């Protein structure tokens, strides 16, 4: 199958069937993140795959009760192990690195026929405590993964010619 149609049909899923996702599939999804590029190949990250119901429920509470968080078969916490490092362009690398890893995971999950939703609306201190994340590390994103129980409309995008240009701004 071509890749672009798979990317184009991805949409955020916020209703999940309760059934678990097999360990093999979860392994492939996180392997996609593990293979993702990072600034200077520093790989300053750790991905925590949470499948236990009690922990997912706690993360749901930390996510201000967004009630679909606990319904996802897995919540992958994408953490950085270094919040200080700046790239030569002066910007922090961790949001970029983690964003790319999350994108790779979402595409693999789509390929596996699963739904995902990236979540950044949560109390980060609480999430750290729940997952025993050391003080100096940060949970940058929670990625929900599960069997979709809905097929939401694709969200619109700005016209491509407003966003994509060649040669100059």
Ligand X SMILES: Cc1cc2nc3c(=O)[nH]c(=O)nc-3n(C[C@H](O)[C@H](O)[C@H](O)COP(=O)(O)O)c2cc1C
Please give the residue ranges that form the binding site for ligand X (CB under 6 A): 11-12, 14, 66, 117-121, 155
Q: Which is nearer to ligand X, 44 or 143 (CB)?
A: 143
Q: Which is nearer to ligand X, 22 or 120 (CB)?
A: 120
- Nearest one of 51, 67, 65 to 14, comparing CA atoms: 67
Q: Which is nearer to ligand X, 163 or 167 (CB)?
A: 163
Cα–Cα distance measured from residue 50 to residue 126, given in angstroms and rounded to the nearest whole number: 15
Min dist CB 65 to ligand X, Å, is: 12
Q: Which is nearer to ligand X, 3 or 27 (CB)?
A: 3
**H helix or E strand, kind and range, residue 6:** helix 3-9
Q: Which is nearer to ligand X, 7 or 134 (CB)?
A: 7
Min dist CB 139 to ligand X, Å, is: 12
Cα–Cα distance measured from residue 28 to residue 22, given in angstroms and rounded to the nearest whole number: 10
Cα–Cα distance measured from residue 20 to residue 130, given in angstroms and rounded to the nearest whole number: 21
- By beta carbon distance, the residue nearest ligand X is 121
Cα–Cα distance measured from residue 151 to residue 34, given in angstroms and rounded to the nearest whole number: 28
Cα–Cα distance measured from residue 100 to residue 51, given in angstroms and rounded to the nearest whole number: 23
Min dist CB 23 to ligand X, Å, is: 26
Min dist CB 66 to ligand X, Å, is: 6
Min dist CB 163 to ligand X, Å, is: 14
Tokens of 140: 């940058």
């Amino acid at each position: 199958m071509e890749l672009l149609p798979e990317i184009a049909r991805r949409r955020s899923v916020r209703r999940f069937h309760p059934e678990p996702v097999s360990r093999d599939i979860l392994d492939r999804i996180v392997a996609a993140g593990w293979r993702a590029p990072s600034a200077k190949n520093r790989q300053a990250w750790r991905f925590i795959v949470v499948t236990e119901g009690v922990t997912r429920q706690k993360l749901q509470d930390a996510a201000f009760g967004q009630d679909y968080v606990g319904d996802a078969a897995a919540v992958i916490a994408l953490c950085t192990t270094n919040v200080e490092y700046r790239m030569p362009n002066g910007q922090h690398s961790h949001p970029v690195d983690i964003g790319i890893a999350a994108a790779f995971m979402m595409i693999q999950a789509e390929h596996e026929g699963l739904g995902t939703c990236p979540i950044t609306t949560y109390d980060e201190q609480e999430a750290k405590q729940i997952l025993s994340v050391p003080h100096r590390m940060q949970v940058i994103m929670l990625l929900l993964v599960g069997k979709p129980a809905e097929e939401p409309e694709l969200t619109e995008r700005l016209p491509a010619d407003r966003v994509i240009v060649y040669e100059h701004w």
